[in-house]
Structure 1
């Protein structure tokens, strides 16, 4: 599990999904905010204790060292706690104990600096906020919200007692208790809410993948059901008549020939029906594919516009272009980080054209080219069509398919051969 998490972190930025990019940005913000608060709240105010006696100097230097250790340990254990919250690892209990000890040491040093140097109480409040932050950001990810608030509130009691012994007055102690409670709410808003947002985005992404797998499984079930309805009865009849023919042949009865002739007829009928089922399954309706592409892309958060009409196109051309739309939609979802996609259907100059263009294309294609585009070229070649695909300016990717229509001057000489190949496909 840990090796898988490490490999996830080593992936390049362009290869990540949008959910993974949001997670990386959130982790960077959490890490940077811890160091930013150390520099602005801890370092500046602790420097007030330098140069005013050996004891304040030693306490201030030790407090600064403890603050650096809190940043390093807090960020490390927070990454592990976030992975645990998202269901990708175990809870970092030992690292949490270390972060808690560092937090307690920083609070104790701050109380000692307050007693030895008399640092101003408002400055104590700011330093205390930072001292509680690295531990609290991790601790809130490992407990239910209510339990975390109760424990963090209970932690304020010994904190108030400690600073009362350090010489802090009554009103300041009340303010210290309020600051402790507010710091608990702050880490919940910063850390827990951000982690919850990441979990929701991850669940939505997984739900979209599950929906796609369910659609494929449903189509397979439909195809299997159609085949069962076509072949189930006929195969049962073939089995019975074959058994009857065997019995008649063993008795030397001439009726066995008639039964086998009937078996042959039913087998040929079944073969014809299976071909019809497969033809209906493999032929794609262009209007249906365009509507399906728009729905799938918009469900994935990609704006999709469809232009042009398909009513005047022949059925075989619509089927071929429908497969192009299906494959292009799959590529838009799987590759790059598209936010918009346009599909244009044209029928001019004796040819039908289809252009699918999307943004968010990767700078360099990842891995070897797949077999989807090669399969489309094979389908279009039967109709003397062409397919081109590749990146264009502006970080966009364009796929263009062109299929000649009947009467195209450029294809008159090839028409007989193409017609023959079409008849061969339909046979």
Structure 2
């Protein structure tokens, strides 16, 4: 059974920000309905308050739905919800005119006028702010807010609202709508920025892998390119000498054999250097990379003095664990500990992002277990408590490398 709140812990940072942003706009709808809708029940008779409250609720729900669809549009998941924006504008106009009509031409009483006037202003403010989300250009955002403020004056004067009160209402709508529009635009910008930063982090991890592959390919080309060229030339020379019956052909083929064996040895050295990892270097690199990604990383223990095969195996564990914390988790903290004894070395990597090694091409847990098995080591990995993933690698201090 899943624990309460586990759905939140499984979300990535961008997904959490998006969820927070969506529910913030939904909360705006709740604020609208509660602050100007509920007071209607105590300010006027039920037969008048109920329809007006229904209109306010419909407008609040329309704002929430429109905001959600606009967020999908800004994330590229759907086309611009133009019909929904027009629907919100129409509902806003209907509710605003109705509220102002009740305030100026409805039953008398200060409570009625105050409550209905509040509905008029707040409806226009939230309507302008949400509709501005569906506009990219800054000038058009200004135009939407200014248009709602001007519309408030155009509607208010004919219905009998005094000129000073009309100017105040227009100013309130302009400032309030501008604030909601700014808040909406900033929230959308922040959400997009978080997604872009997450994509940049993944790109950095992929570039690190690509850079290592390029280094390996470059080293292999330097070794094989030179030696294969020499082998080709000497083989061609040996063929020519053999056709002429010259005894030097045998010496050239012996030289070709020697160069081929030397090439084989050099390739092994290149591959061995590619596969081996220095534990001390990997610990320092992990701490630097995680810190650059905003993840607090604590490293304890020393790698100096460990056998080379032990360092190589554990270094790969650190490298793989760090890569997967960056790419697959949502960690805030990570601890790496190296504990040594006379018999073995234990490496523990723990993070609160619930991310384990699962890289492509068998380079995850299976690949790490194969590397550790070569030095008689073991690997344990799994979630130890809610949202915390722990990886423990144990390697004997004296190892025999499996051929």
TM-score for the superposition, normalised by structure 1: 0.83
Find the aligned partners of 1:158 and 1:386 in 2 and give their Cα distance: 73
* 1:84 corresponding residue in structure 2: 73
Instruction: Measure the CA separation in 1 of the matches of 2:74 and 2:7.
Output: 24
Q: 1:39 to 1:394 in 2, by over 3 A?
A: closer
Aligned residue pairs: how many? Answer: 391
Contact 2:43–2:115 (CA under 8 A) maintained in structure 1: no
Q: Matched residues in 1 for 2:207 and 2:374: separation?
A: 32
Q: Partners in 1 of 2:374 and 2:230 — Cα distance?
A: 38
Q: What is the SS of the residue equivalent to 2:255? A: helix
- Shift >4 Å, 4+ stretches: 118-122
Q: 1:300 to 1:68 in 2, by over 3 A?
A: same
- Give the 3 Å change call, closer, same or farther, for CA 66–349 of structure 1 in structure 2: same
Question: Conserved in 1, the CA contact under 8 Å of 2:96 and 2:120?
Answer: yes
The answer to whether the 8 Å contact 1:351/1:404 transfers is yes
Q: Return the alpha-carbon distance in structure 2 between the equivalents of residues 165 and 61 of structure 1.
A: 26
Residue 350 of structure 1 corresponds to 343
Matched, 1:341 2:330: no
* Structure 2 counterpart of 1:388: 380
Q: Distance in 2 between matches of 1:352 and 1:390?
A: 20
Alignment of 1:13-412 (within 5 A): 13-45=8-40, 48-50=43-45, 57=48, 61-117=50-106, 120=110, 122-132=114-124, 133-361=126-354, 372-393=364-385, 395-406=387-398
In structure 1, how many angstroms separate the alpha carbons of the residues matched to 2:92 and 2:357?
A: 47
SS of the residue 1:397 aligns to? strand
Q: Do 1:113 and 1:119's aligned partners in 2 also have CA atoms closer than 8 Å?
A: no
Q: CA, structure 1 residues 334+217, in 2 after alignment: closer, same or farther (shift >3 Å)?
A: closer
Q: 1:346, 1:354 within 8 Å by CA — same for their partners in 2?
A: yes
State the distance in 2 between where 1:346 and 1:32 align: 50
Q: Deviations over 1:44-70 (max 9, x none)?
A: 237634358xxxx3xx55543333332
SS in 2 for 1:91: coil
Distance across 2 between alignment mates of 1:405 and 1:156: 77
Structure 1's 143 and 399: CA in aligned 2 closer, same or farther, altered over 3 A? closer
**Which runs of no fewer than 5 residues in structure 2 stay unpaired?**
1-5
- What's the CA shift string for 1:199-247, capped at 9, x where partnerless? 1111111111111111111111111111111111111112222223333
For the 8 Å contact 1:141–1:192, the answer to whether it is kept is: no
For 1:155 and 1:392, the matched residues in 2 are separated by 55
- Output the aligned Cα RMSD: 2.6
The CA distance in 1 between the partners of 2:42 and 2:100, in whole Å, is 15
Cα deviation for residue 338 of structure 1 reads 2.3
With over 3 angstroms needed to count, the CA separation of the structure-2 counterparts of 1:210 and 1:386, relative to structure 1, is same
Contact kept? 2:128, 2:145, Cα under 8 Å: no
Cα distance in structure 1, aligned partners of 2:64 and 2:381: 45
Distance 1:371 1:13 in 2: 28
CA positional deviation for 1:256? 2.9
TM-score by length of 2: 0.88
Describe the SS at the equivalent of 2:160: coil
Per the alignment, do residues 88 and 269 of structure 1 end up closer, same or farther by CA in structure 2, a change over 3 Å counting?
A: same
